[in-house]
Amino acid sequence: MLDMITVESLTKKYGRGMTAVDDVSFTAATGRVTGFLGPNGAGKSTTMRIIVGLTPATSGTVMVDGRRFTDLPNPGTEVGVLLDASAQHAGRTGREILTLAQRTMGLPRSRVQEMLDLVSLTSHEADRRVRDYSLGMRQRLGIGTALLGDPDVLILDEPANGLDPAGIRWMRDLLRGFADQGGTVLLSSHLLHEIEVVADDLVVIGNGRIVAQGTKSDLLAAAGTIVRARDAAALAQAMESAGLTFSGHADGSVRTEASPDRVGEIALAAHVVLTELRAAEGAGLEEMFLELTADTQREGAAA
């Protein structure tokens, strides 16, 4: 399996000691969708802007198929990028925006209509000015622009913003099909369910640093155990005495990296009655994400 995107020791510092990205390293492999997750302000967008040459790194390297993005002779034909759907020229029509990109990349004129059809923008919509587009329509246009050059790599930051449920399902199928045909997708999103459905690999970032990365199945399988007891204090004491590390949640549940069998044995030996005992992966990506980024969430930071 080839690593199409390689990020090594990436750091971005701003004035007054602010570090937006702190020694970040990860890869996005060919034929796979890599989900890039993190709370607002965690460094996702900055990292993606560095990858595509819009923001200079303080240190570290980023390679796309062995080259820097800025060294690609015709980048749009190799890497499709959508970082901000609202950044399109509001005074131009959707068709004009695609046509300008088509001419810039030296592509056949037929590609414009092919992309309009692919992203389901009608002729009437294509000839309207972008200022009159909904956010969902701008996202579709942005995706069409990213795919215009028939690239091998897609880098998308929150592409599902503004899409209705049917549009989100359409995008999911589009990205899955792109990867299955040998493409590479790096996808940032706060819609954790959509990431969970479509992603093969996950990279989780918090406060500018990678807090977890690996295949989706491995990360969810390693999520540990969720347990509840009638006497929460007795459960906590038993787990602490057994040397387990754990964290409590506002809903009364406790999470630990130990296996359900081990937690059950500890509770039984301490005569603690459990009301819930299950593998944490059953809770899915959202619970894992919140646990990994607990120190960087807004509420956690306030505490």
Is residue 282's pLDDT more than 60? no
Asked if residue 159 belongs to a domain, the reply is: yes
Q: Are residues 185 and 247 in the same domain?
A: no
Q: What is the pLDDT of residues 202-214, one digit of tens each?
A: 999 988 999 889 9
Give the helix ranges, DSSP H, for the chain. 44-51, 94-105, 110-118, 123-126, 135-147, 165-180, 192-198, 216-221, 232-241, 260-269, 285-292, 298-302
pLDDT tens, position by position, 67-87? 999 999 999 999 999 998 888
Q: How many residues does the chain have?
A: 303
Q: Cβ(48)–Cβ(216) under 8 Å?
A: no
Q: What is the mean pLDDT of residues 255-281?
A: 89
Asked if residue 199 and residue 84 are part of one domain, the reply reads yes
For residue 2, pLDDT beyond 90: no
Do 204 and 110 belong together in one domain? yes
> Distance from CA of residue 10 to its chain's centroid?
17
Structural domain including 97 reads 3-214
Q: Reduced to 3 states, what is the DSSP secondary structure of residue 81?
A: strand
pTM beyond 0.75: yes
Taking the C-alpha atoms of residue 154 and residue 171, their distance in angstroms, rounded to an integer, is: 13
Flag whether 131 is in a domain.
yes
Same domain, yes or no: 115 and 248: no
Domain count, the chain: 2
